[in-house]
Chain A
Amino acid sequence: MKKLLLVCIALMLAAGTAFAGQTGAALSQESIIEKIQKQGVLRVGMSTFVPWAMKDKQGRLIGFEIDVAKKLAADMGVTVEFVPTAWSGIIPALLTGKFDVIIGGMGITPERNLKVNFTIPYEYSGMSMVAHRKKAAGFSRIEDFNKKEVAIAVRMGTTAEQAARKYMPNASFKLFENESQALQELNLGRVHAVVSSAPMPAFHALKFSKKLFVPLKDNFTREPIGFALRKGDYDALNYFNNWILINHESGFLKEREDYWFKTRDWESLVQ
């Protein structure tokens, strides 16, 4: 009986590793560009993040990123399919082939780059901060927040978390899966501030101006944002890089950036 069981387990393990090897090889051998063209669908991994990607009143996705992905798909002659994914699991989901590319406001970092390939930046973002009027009264410099008694809420696994830890190593941190949870914590006055990519903190401070304010005049980091794709697919990397290059030159990216980040014309679409 025991022997039979051992043989069974050994067989299953062997099959598992064989499969793993096969799919791994298959994923890198065939460029996703070819796969996308064959299937007629570009699957884009993203995560809700105002105003990069969000649901409008009709439940459709809108935002800067959504415009970028839609144009990319149109230029490839395929339809686009968005796969909203929890931020903390977005890289594993890419690596296991749940979608073809992450177009999700993902900051290029050396750590992430060890796991995935990044394109050239299609956008730059910076970290900014929104703080609680009462709890963080009089705070105006980053040093004011870099104290033991200061609590800061950030979204888990984001570059906001990294930046906040780097610039405010003494503060204590509360990590949340979603931006809205972090902001809720701030609105309830349980933390002093929320660190996040511009322009969201400023927008949020505007909305709850009685309770919240923007303590720092400028963003305290500048980050390149790229598409992320599985490693080893240089064909796709080349295609996406050149697509970004062309759309920087043509002004498409600039025009979309102005609309989503500099104006609030889109606000009526959401609320």
Chain B
Amino acid sequence: MFSKPSNKITLVDAAALALVIAAISFFVSRMGSVLAYEWDWGAIPRYFFFRDPETGALVPNILVRGFFTTVKLSLWATVLAFVLGTATGIMGARGDGFQRFVSRTYVEVVRNIPSLVLLIIFYYFVSSRFLDVLELDVWLRGQSAGVQKTVSLLMAEPGRFNAFLSAVAALGLYEGAYICEIVRGGILGLPGGQWEAAYSVGLSGPQTFRLVILPQAFRKVAFPLAGQFISTIKDSAIVSVISIQELTFQGMEVMAATFLTFEVWVTVTLLYFILTFPLSMSINYLDKKFSPRG
């Protein structure tokens, strides 16, 4: 019933390709003639790197710094989302009534609030009520230069520390809800025979879960999880509204200073693509190589 898809280019493919090329060239020509947009790419490269006038060294500028802030932000948010999502996912699949209720509430609340609203609640309410009281930024300012440098390399410098944490928390909470569903689905998706088999060789309930169910469930959901990481990178663009100096924010800063709207957005788009496309490709590759075929 399922034949192997062929690699031959059909007439339909060729027509579709031609249509795409026509659309792109139409867009470019419209930009040139009708909108009379004067492209000016000359100003963009120096926002990646510039030469220090004193030392002559090449120094990363705001776009590169923003790029790495996006990477850091996405990594920490994913770590948090993974922990939160796994815990609530297990609760949702295996917990008692109360735990299932908590897990369900978490998923439904987060999934039904726009991420932007969640983020703003975190930045203005949660952060100022709870995070600022801890005075982590004050503590960090009091640390040695070495500690400060390490922390800013891994997370953010003291002045941006609280904002960074609230962004990580909001993003992590948001992505965690999706991971919760992925993990829960992975556990519930395992055939009941696995439990029975484990019982019959004498494993206890928790042992079965830890040694038999969880490893299989994770193997099953590894690729959706990786996909969620890519989503986190893309979703991280919204934290620009709370002054986190990530890629989108820095792009807008460059735009506000140079008024090169299209050039900056094209550059920012490419940077996100550079970040997510290889990830997406490697996930596809790993998926093909390792996923169990039925």
Contacts and interface: CB of A to CB of B under 8 A. Distances in A.
B134 to A, nearest CB: 11
A261 to B, nearest CB: 17
B255 interface: yes
B129 A85 contact: no
Interface in A109-144: none
A179 interface: yes
B62 interface: yes
B59 A55 contact: no
A97 B124 CA distance: 9
A23 B43 CA distance: 45
B159 A41 contact: yes
Contact of B253 (A41, A55, A187): A55
Given A20-B129, A96-B127, A54 B257 contact: yes
Given A1-B98, A86-B241, A89-B241, A96 B124 contact: yes
Nearest to A17: B129
Contacts of B257: 48, 50, 54-56, 270
Contacts of B37: 187
B141 interface: yes
Interface string A52-81: 001111110000000000000000000001
Contact of B259 (A41, A89, A93, A180): A180
Interface residues of A, number: 45
Contacts of B252: 48, 178, 180
B242 interface: yes
A231 interface: no
B87 interface: no
Contacts of B120: 89
Nearest to A203: B259
Contacts of B245: 84
A103 interface: no
Interface string B103-132: 000000000000000001000100111101
A96 B166 CA distance: 13
B128 A96 contact: yes
A268 interface: no
B149 interface: no
B65 interface: yes
A56 B256 CA distance: 11
B27 to A, nearest CB: 14
Given A55-B253, A180-B256, A271-B258, A23 B47 contact: no
Contacts of B261: 180-181, 184
Nearest to B260: A180
Q: Chain B: interface secondary structure?
A: helix
A194 to B, nearest CB: 11
A23 B126 CA distance: 12
A83 B243 contact: yes
A98 interface: yes
Nearest to B129: A19
A25 interface: no
A207 B258 CA distance: 11
A92 interface: yes
A23 B256 contact: no
Interface in A206-245: 207, 210-211
Given A58-B50, A83-B159, A19 B254 contact: no
Contact of B254 (A20, A55, A204, A210): A55
B256 A48 contact: yes
Contacts of B256: 48-50, 54-55, 178-180
Contacts of A6: none
Contact of B47 (A54, A59, A81, A97): A59
Contact of A270 (B138, B243, B258): B258
Interface of B: 35-37, 43, 46-47, 50, 52, 59, 61-62, 65, 97-98, 120, 124, 127-130, 132-133, 138, 141, 159-160, 162-163, 241-243, 245, 249, 252-259, 261
- Nearest 7 A-B pairs (CB), nearest first? A96-B128, A48-B256, A59-B62, A54-B257, A184-B261, A81-B159, A59-B61
11 contacts: A48-B252, A48-B256, A57-B46, A81-B159, A86-B242, A89-B124, A98-B243, A178-B255, A180-B252, A180-B255, A270-B258
Given A98-B128, A271-B258, 4 more contacts: A55-B257, A92-B124, A180-B255, A181-B261
